[in-house]
Amino acid sequence: MYTLLKQSIIDKISIPDAEMEAFCNLFCLKTLKKKEFFLREGDISRYEAFVKKGLFKVYHLDEKGTEHILYFAPENWWLVDIDSFHNNVPSMLYIEAIEDCEILVISQSDKEFANQTLPSIEKLFRIMTQKAYVNLQRRMIRNLSKTADHRYQDFIKRYPDLAVRLNNLQISAYLGISHEFLSKIRKKMVSKK
């Protein structure tokens, strides 16, 4: 049950067996079907989860009802709205399964407990947050400096395995463009080959 989670932790830090066991035992398995939600806008994020199987989208819905995807979370990724989870404020985000999923869930209080009692875990979450920050920073730079065309080509090159699991509505909501415009970009690419 915890194989993937353990591997994902070992890849980031060295951790004594006892701490690993203690930490993993705080998680419980949950399944979500496609279109079900792990978090909705207005909720306070009281759980964090590791994606064991499947794929989620983490997004914000603006006042016009347009979806803006912050990131996709496939296997090995974590689900949480750090903002809501740590500042105890209602979330601006939705976290929705876009495939049938299996996740390992830990509560806010158990995570705090782990942070306080298991020295390796504090480090694990520092490293994870750093990695998330670096990814977001790189994306910010790309969004500020590249055209939609370039961002799309970059996306399918960077995440080929993800690209095939997503439809164009989802990709366009991640790139920050309309799906019609994405369709036109794709057409141009085909004709240029």
Partner DNA sequence: GATAAAAATTGAACAAGTTCAATAATCCCG
Partner DNA sequence: CGGGATTATTGAACTTGTTCAATTTTTATC
| Residues found near DNA in the complex (CB under 7 A) | 64, 66, 147-149, 167-169, 176-184, 186-187
Q: Give the integer Cα–Cα distance in Å for 108 and 114.
A: 10
Q: Give the integer Cα–Cα distance in Å for 7 and 129.
A: 18
Minimum distance, C-beta of residue 59 to a second copy, in the bound complex (Å): 9
What lies within 8 Å, CB to CB, of 96 at 6+ separation is: 35, 36, 37, 38, 56, 57, 59
Find which of a second copy, DNA, none residue 28 binds, CB within 5 to 8 Å per kind: none
What lies within 8 Å, CB to CB, of 24 at 6+ separation is: 2, 5, 6
Minimum distance, C-beta of residue 170 to DNA, in the bound complex (Å): 7
Find which of DNA, a second copy, none residue 126 binds, CB within 5 to 8 Å per kind: a second copy
Q: Give the integer Cα–Cα distance in Å for 186 and 177.
A: 13
CA 10 to chain centre: 20
Find which of DNA, a second copy, none residue 107 binds, CB within 5 to 8 Å per kind: none
136 touches a second copy (CB under 8 A): yes
Find which of a second copy, DNA, none residue 82 binds, CB within 5 to 8 Å per kind: a second copy
Q: Which one of the spans 34-42, 45-53, 126-134, 183-191 is the region binding a second copy (CB under 8 A)? A: 126-134
Q: Give the integer Cα–Cα distance in Å for 133 and 44.
A: 21
123 touches a second copy (CB under 8 A): yes
Q: Give the integer Cα–Cα distance in Å for 83 and 91.
A: 7
Instruction: Tell me which residues touch a second copy (CB under 8 A).
Output: 60, 62, 66, 68, 70, 82-83, 86-87, 92, 115, 119, 122-123, 125-126, 129-130, 132-134, 136-141, 143-146, 176
